[in-house]
Amino acid sequence: MGPPDGYIPGVLCLLCVWFSITGGLAARRQQETVTDGVTSKNVLLIIVDDLRTSLGCYGDSIVKSPNIDQLASSSVLFTNAYAQQAVCAPSRVSFLTGRRPQTTRLFDFNSYWRKHAGNYSTLPQYFKEHGYVTMSVGKVFHPGISSNRSDDYPYSWSIKAYHPSSEKYENEKTCKGKDGQLHANLVCPVDVSKVPERTLPDIQSTEEAIRLLKTVKQQKSSFFLAVGYHKPHIPFRFPQEFLKLYPIKNISLAPDPGIPRNLPSVAYNPWTDIRKREDVQALNISFPYGPIPPHFQRLIRQSYYASVSYLDSQVGKLLNAVENLGLANDTIIVFASDHGWSLGEHGEWAKYSNFDVATRVPLMFYVPGMTTTRQMQQNIFTYIDPFNMKTVKKSPGKIREDPVELVSLYSTIAELAGLPSLPACPVPSFHVELCSEGQSLLPYFTTSGKESPETVAYSSYPRPSDTPQSNSDLPDLEDIRIMGYSMRTSDYRLTLWVGYNPVTFEANITDIHAQELYIVKSDPNQDNNLFNKTLHYDFAQKLFGHLMKWIAFT
């Protein structure tokens, strides 16, 4: 399950050589591959880090995201899409392999699925094997052990993955404080002209992605390009001018900034990662519940919004390049986040939970000829300057409200591009290289979605203990003792916390630590756990029976 025979680490794969060899084959496949009448197309997959549904196209009236909203206006937009685990590496490996964390056996950052679980095919690998040039820019796979310290090259990518050179400064002391000194802060607006290399990672990623698009355009190669943006991941390091979009006087606190009275302690996320930042340490906040002073809560929320608008500007420049290069009619564009992020809801910050605010993500698909009927002469991806926005807001294209899962990305993108459909995975599927545990979302593109049966989105999160610990947010595999399994229907969020054995990877459904039930319609923020209420007890038991059956098969 290691690298293929004959692979020599560090061998350079020159872009021009690869394109010259594969260009003809890829172009022919682009013309010839057809599935269910859908002609194969290029793919641009945009993956964002820690982005919740704080976008105009999701009804957020505060955040300015005109370029992403413009993409949404010509897309199928899913309003209830959920990550399978609210942390970077497990979520990305899950949707890029089409397997749930229970099958990748990755709940932290410290293992490579091909060696640790099974030699599973990946989404870009599938396209590569069908003649596409596959390219990775920025944070697509999580770098490090979880992607074999190579972003899964050469399996997944035709050329080595690109990482911005300025990435190494993200957590360094580059934030100017009130004392005039540089600090490693959480809140970090910067003058780009004065930071190392005079640039930021997402700016570099946009530039590299555009360069690659120009190259594949020139070579007439079918391509799968994945672009991973860092923001709004912490630290909130962004061009300082974006703060002008969000005056601090207009920033409110979360609608539910207190810890819910009936929240099980095992469900709480003590946001240990932001506590490590120098500006947060200076606040002397008590562990584990805080709270963060209100004025600093507003600074965090302001910086998150500014980071989103900075991200939006980079996405806009990338999409505008797709338009200007004449690729908009031949390229499927998918926009998604790896998970959400809490901005003070439930007294929590960061991700690391099963709540909607941490698991719910933006997800949209632009498919030429399917989600839009634009004429060739129309410009669909015109760059919109967030500082000079027009008053007219574009509405999303087709909206789908059923709960769906990121693990469905693999099979959905493959089918939309005209590649052969993936078979459903058997249980277990550790021995199967090519299959999907997610259901294709293709029916949502051809129907209203209302004909679909009731759907369920599953998520899970590990804990080392029933009470918040210093490693509760991200326990190493060996420290996991409890797993929280959660299911989200159109009406409910249910979570069951049970004992877990990290050696055998088995959940003990008879060892129940806590249970949660939230009725979404009356409690959209999921603040009122009704499980122990007599009125809902029998109903909750029935639903948890369904959840326990799912756990038994994972």
Render each residue's pLDDT in the chain as its tens digit; 554 residues. Answer: 333 333 323 323 333 334 333 333 333 333 333 333 344 699 999 999 999 999 999 999 999 999 999 999 999 999 999 999 999 999 999 999 999 999 999 999 999 999 999 999 999 999 999 999 999 999 999 999 999 999 999 999 999 999 999 999 999 999 998 899 999 999 999 999 999 999 999 999 999 999 999 999 999 999 999 999 999 999 999 999 999 999 999 999 999 999 998 999 999 999 999 999 999 999 999 999 999 999 999 999 999 999 999 999 999 999 999 999 999 999 999 999 999 999 999 999 999 999 999 999 999 999 998 998 655 447 889 999 999 877 556 778 899 999 999 999 999 999 999 999 999 999 999 999 999 999 999 999 986 655 555 689 999 999 999 999 999 999 999 999 999 999 999 999 999 999 999 999 999 999 999 999 999 999 999 999 999 876 677 777 777 777 777 776 66
Q: Which helix (H) or strand (E) holds 279?
A: helix 278-281
How far apart (Å, rounded) are the C-alpha atoms in residues 63 and 40? 35
- The residue among 40, 76, 212 whose CA lies nearest residue 135 is 212
* Residue of 285, 401, 304 whose CA lies nearest to 345: 304
What the block records as the tokens of 74 is 């010509």
- C-alpha pair distances (Å), 414 with each of 46, 114, 368, 424, 530: 15, 21, 15, 14, 40
Identify which of 362, 376, 363, 364 has the alpha carbon closest to the alpha carbon of residue 330: 376
What does the block give as tokens for 71?
């993409």
- Helix or strand run (H / E) with residue 133: strand 133-138
Catalytic residue among 57, 88, 175, 425: 88
d(CA 229, CA 216): 21
* Dihedral sign of CA atoms 169, 171, 173, 175 in order: positive
Q: How many CB atoms lie within 10 A of CB 22?
A: 20
φ/ψ of 335, rounded to 5, equals -120, 125
Q: How far apart are CA 412 and CA 439, in angstroms?
A: 8
Coil, strand, or helix at residue 12?
Answer: coil
- Asked whether the beta carbons of 255 and 524 are under 8 A apart, the reply is no
Task: Tell me if 274 sits within 8 A of 349, measured CB to CB.
Answer: yes
Residues 6 or more apart in contact with residue 202 via CB below 8 angstroms = 138, 164, 229, 230, 231, 310, 311, 314
Question: Are 224 and 42 spatial neighbours (Cβ–Cβ below 8 Å)?
Answer: yes
The structure's pTM equals 0.92
Q: Hey, what's the torsion of the CAs at 344, 350, 355, 359, to 10 degrees?
A: 130
Q: Which residues of 450-461 are buried (b: 16+ CB within 10 A; e: fewer)?
A: eeeeebbbbbbb
Q: What span, in angstroms and rounded, lies between the C-alpha atoms of 27 and 199?
A: 35
| 3-class DSSP assignment, residue 170 | coil
Please indicate whether residue 546 is annotated as part of the active site: no
- Spot the catalytic one: 142, 163, 183, 513: 142
- Largest separation between any pair of C-alpha atoms in the chain: 69
Locate all alpha helices (DSSP H) within 130-234, ordered by sequence. 201-219
Of the candidates 487, 333, 355, 291, which has an alpha carbon nearest to the alpha carbon of residue 417? 333
3-state secondary structure at position 137: strand
Task: Quote the pLDDT of residue 457.
Answer: 96
Task: Convert the pLDDT of each residue in 239-255 to its tens digit.
Answer: 999 999 999 999 999 99
Which single residue is written with the structure tokens 């290399």? 197
pLDDT at residue 222, as a whole number: 95
For the question of residue 142 being annotated catalytic, the response is yes
How far apart are the C-alpha atoms of 120 and 428, rounded to whole Å?
13
CB of 326 closer than 8 Å to CB of 268: no
Pair 309, 65: CB distance under 8 Å: yes
CB 43 within 8 A of CB 128: no
The first and second tokens of residue 132, run together, are 């596409």
In contact, 63 and 77? CB cutoff 8 Å: no
CA distance 12 to 18: 11
Closest by CA position to 267, among listed 467, 499, 82, 85: 467
Looking at residue 553, its amino acid is F
Which H or E run includes 190? strand 187-190
Looking at beta carbons, which pairs linking 275-282 to residues 24 or more positions away fall under 8 Å? 277/184, 277/185, 277/186, 277/234, 277/235, 278/177, 278/183, 278/184, 278/185, 279/175, 279/177, 279/183, 279/185, 279/186, 279/187, 280/186
Query: How many residues can be counted in the chain?
Result: 554
- Domains in the chain (CATH in brackets) are 15-552 (3.40.720.10)
